[in-house]
C-alpha cells in the first residue's frame, strides 16, 4: 500500500482555532482513485494563507472499483486503513475520517468497527462518510431520503437497504448512473449530477444525499437547496462537516449548503432535546428559534425528539407561532410555563391537542440580547403533574441551548 499525505492550509473566519492557537488538523483516508475530495475540501474551507484555522492531511488507500463481489470488498479491509491511519496520527491530527462511502453498502456496523479500531490504534477520534451522512440525517430529522448515486443498480439497492436498517427510508427516484470504475465517477458532468439530485428530490423526500466522495455534488448543493427547498447532503461536504465537528472547530461555513452552515448547531440542539426527553420521560421535545442567518425561524422546529408512536411535528409550519396564546405569555413573563393540563389560561392552539394529542406541556423561554429568541417545549400525551426534577431538566436544557448558541454564533 502506498500512502501520500498531502497537506494544505485552509481557513475561514467562522472556524475557531484551538485554545493553543494551533490549527485544527483533519486526517483524511482517501480512496486511491479519487480525484474529487481533496480539491473540493480545499475549496470548501478556502485558502487565506499563514493564519490558518484548519489544515487537511490526506493518506491514500487502494480503491479502484465499486461492485458487489468479494474482490471489491477486500479493498475496504481494516489492515490497510489502520496502516494509513497510523501515518496520519504521526502528524498529530485531531480527527481521522475514512472519506469513502463503503459502509453504505457493506454495512454501517463495519464503519463503526473501523472507527473503533482507528481510535484504539491511534487515540484519535474517527468517523466515516457514511456515519457523517447518517449524523446529518439525525441532525435534520430526516427519515425519508432521496439518493443521488453513480453506482450500478444492485449497489444502489444495497445502499437503500442499509440506510433503512438505520431508520432512514430511501427512495431511488433518480436512476443511478450505473458506473463501477471509481475513477470515472469524478468525470460525471456537474450538470448531470444536478439533474440527478433534482430527480432524487421528487416526492416526499426530506433531503437528498449524494452518496459518493468522488462525485462533484458539493458545488451545486447551495443552489439546489434554494430551488428544491430540502437539504442536499454531499458526501465530501458531510465528511468535512463531521470532521470539523469532532475536531472542535465549530463549523459554520456559509455558501456551500446548509449542513456546513448550520448542521453542527442543529446537531447540538438535537442532543439537548434527546437528553431532555429521557430526563423528563415526556413524549416529545422541540426547540424553536429565530436565527435568520442560519435559515431557522420559529414556525418550524430547529429540532425534535419523540418517543416511538408519537407523531412528529417538525415539518408543520401551519401556525403563526408568535401569535399563540402560550408564546405571547412567554413574551410577557419570560419564565417557564408549566401546564399539567390545559384547563386554565393560556390555552395552547387546539391543533396541538386534536392533531398531535398533547394534554400537558412545559415551555422554557430562550432569551438572547433581551429578546425572546425561541423556546423549548416538552409535551405529554397525558395530563401530568410536572415534578421539580422535570422543571430542573428543562432549566438545564435551556442552559445547554444557550451554551450551543454562544459557541456557534
Closest alpha carbon to 92 in 42, 38, 40, 18: 18
Closest alpha carbon to 312 in 356, 269, 254: 356
| The pLDDT of residue 205 is above 70 | yes
Would you call 114 exposed, middle or buried from its count of C-beta atoms within 10 A (0-12, 13-18, 19+)?
Answer: buried
* Residue pLDDT, tens place only, 11-52: 334 456 676 778 899 999 999 999 999 999 999 988 433 335
Please tell me the distance from the alpha carbon of residue 174 to that of residue 152, in angstroms, as a whole number.
12
293: enclosing H helix or E strand? none
The total number of residues written for the chain in this structure: 409
| The pLDDT of residue 194 is above 70 | yes
Q: Strand 95-98 to strand 126-128: parallel, antiparallel, or no bridges (unpaired)?
A: parallel
- DSSP string covering 123-167, please? S--EEEHHHHHHHHHHHHT--EEEEE--S-HHHHHHHHHHHHHTT
Q: What is the pLDDT of residue 16?
A: 60
Q: What confidence category does residue 9 fall into, taking pLDDT thresholds of 50, 70 and 90?
A: very low
C-alpha cell belonging to residue 193: 449530477
Q: What is the pLDDT of residue 166?
A: 97
Q: What confidence category does residue 3 fall into, taking pLDDT thresholds of 50, 70 and 90?
A: very low
In the predicted model, what is the mean pLDDT of residues 221-236? 97
Please tell me the distance from the alpha carbon of residue 263 to that of residue 25, in angstroms, as a whole number.
20
Q: What contacts 225, CB < 8 A, 6 or more positions away? A: 231, 232, 257, 258
* Residue pLDDT, tens place only, 232-268: 999 999 999 999 999 988 777 888 999 999 999 999 9
214: enclosing H helix or E strand? none
Cell 428544491, located at residue? 228
Closest alpha carbon to 81 in 127, 114, 112: 114
Question: Reading across the β-sheet that carries 24-31, which strands appear in turn?
Answer: 6-10, 54-61, 24-31, 95-98, 126-128
The answer to whether residues 359 and 341 touch, using CB atoms and an 8 Å cutoff, is yes
Please tell me the distance from the alpha carbon of residue 81 to that of residue 76, in angstroms, as a whole number.
8
Q: What is the pLDDT of residue 408?
A: 65
Please tell me the distance from the alpha carbon of residue 98 to that of residue 85, in angstroms, as a whole number.
9
Provide the mean pLDDT of the chain.
92
Q: What is the pLDDT of residue 409?
A: 55
Q: What is the pLDDT of residue 313?
A: 97
Please tell me the distance from the alpha carbon of residue 314 to that of residue 312, in angstroms, as a whole number.
6
Please tell me the distance from the alpha carbon of residue 393 to that of residue 115, in angstroms, as a whole number.
32
C-alpha cell belonging to residue 126: 474517527
Among 19-28, 124-133, 176-185, 351-360, the least confident range: 19-28
Q: What is the pLDDT of residue 142?
A: 97
Amino acid at each position: 500500500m502506498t500512502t501520500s499525505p498531502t497537506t494544505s492550509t485552509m481557513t475561514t473566519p467562522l472556524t475557531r482555532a484551538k485554545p493553543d492557537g494551533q490549527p485544527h488538523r483533519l486526517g483524511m483516508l482517501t480512496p486511491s482513485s479519487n480525484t474529487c475530495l481533496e480539491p473540493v475540501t480545499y475549496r470548501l474551507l478556502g485558502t487565506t494563507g499563514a493564519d490558518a484555522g484548519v489544515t487537511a492531511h490526506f493518506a491514500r488507500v487502494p480503491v479502484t472499483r465499486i461492485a458487489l463481489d468479494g474482490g471489491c470488498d477486500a479493498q475496504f479491509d481494516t489492515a490497510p486503513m489502520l496502516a494509513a491511519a497510523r501515518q496520519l496520527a504521526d502528524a498529530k491530527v485531531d480527527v481521522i475520517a475514512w472519506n469513502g462511502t463503503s459502509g453504505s453498502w457493506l454495512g454501517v456496523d463495519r464503519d463503526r468497527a473501523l472507527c473503533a479500531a482507528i481510535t484504539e490504534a491511534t487515540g484519535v477520534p474517527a468517523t466515516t462518510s457514511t456515519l457523517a451522512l447518517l449524523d446529518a440525517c439525525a441532525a435534520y430529522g430526516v427519515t425519508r431520503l432521496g439518493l443521488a448515486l453513480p453506482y450500478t443498480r444492485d449497489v444502489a439497492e444495497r445502499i437503500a437497504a442499509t440506510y433503512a436498517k438505520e431508520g432512514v427510508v430511501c427512495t431511488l427516484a433518480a436512476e443511478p448512473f450505473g458506473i463501477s470504475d471509481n475513477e470515472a465517477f469524478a468525470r460525471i458532468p456537474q450538470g448531470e449530477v444536478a439533474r440527478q439530485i433534482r430527480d432524487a428530490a421528487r416526492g416526499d423526500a426530506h433531503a437528498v444525499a449524494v452518496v459518493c466522495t468522488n462525485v462533484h455534488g458539493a458545488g451545486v448543493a447551495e443552489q439546489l437547496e434554494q430551488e428544491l427547498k430540502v437539504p442536499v447532503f454531499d458526501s465530501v461536504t458531510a465528511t468535512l462537516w463531521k470532521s470539523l465537528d469532532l475536531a472542535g472547530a465549530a463549523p459554520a461555513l456559509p455558501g456551500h449548503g446548509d449542513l456546513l452552515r448550520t448542521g453542527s448547531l442543529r446537531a447540538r440542539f438535537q442532543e439537548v432535546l434527546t437528553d431532555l426527553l429521557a430526563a423528563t420521560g415526556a413524549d416529545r421535545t422541540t426547540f424553536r428559534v429565530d436565527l435568520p442567518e442560519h435559515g431557522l425561524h420559529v414556525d418550524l422546529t430547529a429540532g425534535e425528539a419523540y418517543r416511538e408512536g408519537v407523531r412528529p411535528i417538525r415539518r408543520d409550519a401551519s401556525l403563526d407561532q408568535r401569535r399563540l396564546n402560550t408564546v405571547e405569555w412567554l413574551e410577557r413573563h419570560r419564565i417557564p410555563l408549566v401546564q399539567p393540563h390545559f384547563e386554565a389560561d393560556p390555552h395552547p392552539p387546539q391543533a396541538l391537542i386534536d392533531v398531535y394529542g398533547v394534554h400537558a406541556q412545559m415551555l422554557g423561554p430562550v432569551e438572547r440580547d433581551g429578546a425572546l429568541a425561541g423556546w423549548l417545549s416538552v409535551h405529554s400525551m397525558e395530563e401530568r403533574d410536572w415534578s421539580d426534577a422535570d422543571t430542573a431538566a428543562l432549566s438545564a436544557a435551556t442552559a445547554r441551548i444557550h451554551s450551543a448558541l454562544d459557541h456557534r454564533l
